[in-house]
Amino acid sequence: MIDDPPLIKMRGIVKSFPGVKALRGVSLSLRAGEVLALLGENGAGKSSLMKVLGGAHLADEGVIEIDGRETVFRSPQDSRNAGVAVIYQEFNLVPGLTAVENIFLGQEITTGGFIAQRQERKRAEELFGRLGIAMDLDTPCGRLTTAQQQLVEIAKALAFNARIIVMDEPSAALTQHEVEKLFGIIRDLKKQGIGVIYISHRLDEIFTIADRVTILRDGANVGERPIGELTRRAMIEMMVGRELTNEFPARTSAIGEARLSVSGLRSGRAVQDVSFNVRRGEILALTGLVGAGRTETVRLIFGADRREAGTISLDGEALDIREPRDAIAAGIGLLTEDRKLQGLVLGHSVRENFGLPNLSWLSRRGFVQMGREREEFAKYSDLLKIKVATQETPAGTLSGGNQQKVVLAKWLARNCEVLIFDEPTRGIDVGAKFEIYLLMNELAAAGKAIVMISSELPEVIGMADRILVMHAGRVTGEFADARSTTQEQIIQLAVA
């Protein structure tokens, strides 16, 4: 009922860390059976607020109420006991344990001091039944798909009767079909009276699943509206704090001759007879559904996977690319889809990550010239506006946008002639997206050839000069004028 107190109400939450005030009197409320979208740029305070809600951080000031009763979360266990479950983007599962073992880890059902395995299994089946799915209960979670692991996390939340579930970027690594299935589960959770806080940079999803939106900027509330009262443009303007003239920067293309040409690329069923070229000053978008063969194609070009057939040439000269170092030497750079696992060494400093593909010219007699490395990184850090405390800051502590800029910096330092961006703005806020778009335009204007893989069709249409669509390992169509193409036309070829 609307007169009932909210499931949770946070008022005037303040949280400071050394040198930074992360939260400046933030307020938030969530009612039973409601989906609240929590939006904001990276660094806006979303994660800090959710860590306060999850008991990982103790607020310096402010009040948390559960069902109208004031409470204090001094630990994650306090939050959990109050019915709060936080499903982080990096799942909190033990890869070697099964779904059942992960669900009841730390809250085992026991009889006479022994784990009641049959009871746990029966309870797990009931939980997945409540979600309307069948789950393999015996496979280690490390071998489950991302979507299946996410379902295990949701079942874990239901196992301890969570009434408030926080989902942080839940769709980031899901296919469109899996996203639709997730939305169906969220709607079922709503019917059961569970409140969901949904965090995502994919604004189209917000209009599909959210009832209400709370927006943060610089650690403070800047807006709260029912979803029906917001437009995409208004939402972005509140997030970035300025009027939005265009979501994608304008660019006048000066496209020249072909630079990168590939012909007859093949690798099993993943890539089958793929041919295309990318011209000087052009941004070519490679799109299609997840699993269409886009990433597999560029991995063949970069030498990360071995091709069974096909030729690759740059500026008319055939290349013999057998491994990534061959591609790098030829002037090809790849910004991988998963920057955390494949693009960066998270435990190493940003300076060291910058230097990795550039050691050939940053070293002398087998030793890295650290002074020169620092100077070069400082130059690109200023150019790309990388926000980092010091050059020795571990890459894993940066926001998604700044991590992407570090990856880009190392390839710019190589002066690559061909740059492949695989999902360049995944998990990045709208402000950082615009900066990445500007950089891509500048690189194209400098004569670089750019291949952009993206699952976000507005991004494909807004950024590309030309579009290639893939399905089942093959190119199924081309749109020579990206700006005059519709999403419906692309989807028709993507599912062909």
CATH number of the domain bearing residue 479 = 3.40.50.300
How many domains, the chain? Answer: 2
Residue 2 has a pLDDT of 55
| 207 and 157 share one domain | yes
| 280 and 187 share one domain | no
Residue 3 has a pLDDT of 66
Diameter of the chain measured on Cα atoms: 76
Q: Residue 277 sits in which domain range?
A: 258-494
Q: Is residue 337 part of a domain?
A: yes
Contact 272, 266 (CB under 8 A): yes
Q: Is residue 251 part of a domain?
A: no
Q: Is residue 253 part of a domain?
A: no
Residue 355, SS3? helix
Residue 357 has a pLDDT of 83
Residue 327 tokens, joined: 């591609």
Categorise residue 67: left if φ over 0, alpha if ψ from -120 to 50, beta otherwise.
left
| 61 and 158 share one domain | yes
How many angstroms separate the CA atoms of 281 and 12, rounded?
Answer: 50
User: Terminal CA-to-CA distance of the chain, rounded, Å?
Assistant: 47
Residues 6+ away with beta carbon under 8 Å from 126: none
| 134 and 202 share one domain | yes
| 270 and 235 share one domain | no
Q: Strand (E) positions, 361-486?
A: 363-364, 367-368, 418-422, 449-453, 466-471, 474-479
Q: Is residue 438 part of a domain?
A: yes
Residue 398, SS3? coil
| 160 and 187 share one domain | yes
The gap from C-alpha 155 to its chain's centroid, in whole angstroms, comes to 23
Contact 495, 176 (CB under 8 A): no
| 178 and 295 share one domain | no
Residue 222 has a pLDDT of 93
Q: Is residue 301 part of a domain?
A: yes
Q: Is residue 71 part of a domain?
A: yes
CA dihedral 81, 84, 87, 91 (to 10 degrees): -10
Local structure of residue 98 (DSSP, 8 states): B
Q: Is residue 449 part of a domain?
A: yes
pLDDT by 10s per residue, the chain, length 496: 456 789 999 999 999 987 778 899 999 999 999 999 999 877 788 989 999 999 999 999 999 999 999 999 999 999 999 999 998 877 889 999 999 999 998 888 888 888 888 898 999 999 888 888 888 898 899 888 888 888 899 999 888 889 999 998 888 767 777 888 889 999 999 999 999 999 988 888 999 999 999 999 889 999 999 999 999 888 888 887 876 667 788 877 789 999 999 999 999 989 999 999 999 999 999 998 777 899 999 999 999 999 999 999 999 999 999 999 999 999 999 988 777 777 788 889 999 999 888 888 888 888 888 889 999 899 888 887 888 888 899 988 887 778 888 888 888 888 889 999 998 887 777 777 888 898 899 999 999 999 999 988 889 999 999 999 999 899 999 999 998 999 889 988 987 6
| Assessment of whether the complete model's pTM goes beyond 0.85 | no
Final residue before a domain boundary, out of 240, 270, 301: 240
| 57 and 132 share one domain | yes
State the burial class of residue 490 (Cβ atoms within 10 Å of its Cβ: 0-12, 13-18, 19+).
buried
Residue 244 has a pLDDT of 64
| 119 and 26 share one domain | yes
| 275 and 204 share one domain | no
Closest CA to 466 of 271, 188, 200, 276: 276
Contact 285, 458 (CB under 8 A): no
Q: Is residue 245 part of a domain?
A: no
| 139 and 56 share one domain | yes
Residue 12 has a pLDDT of 96
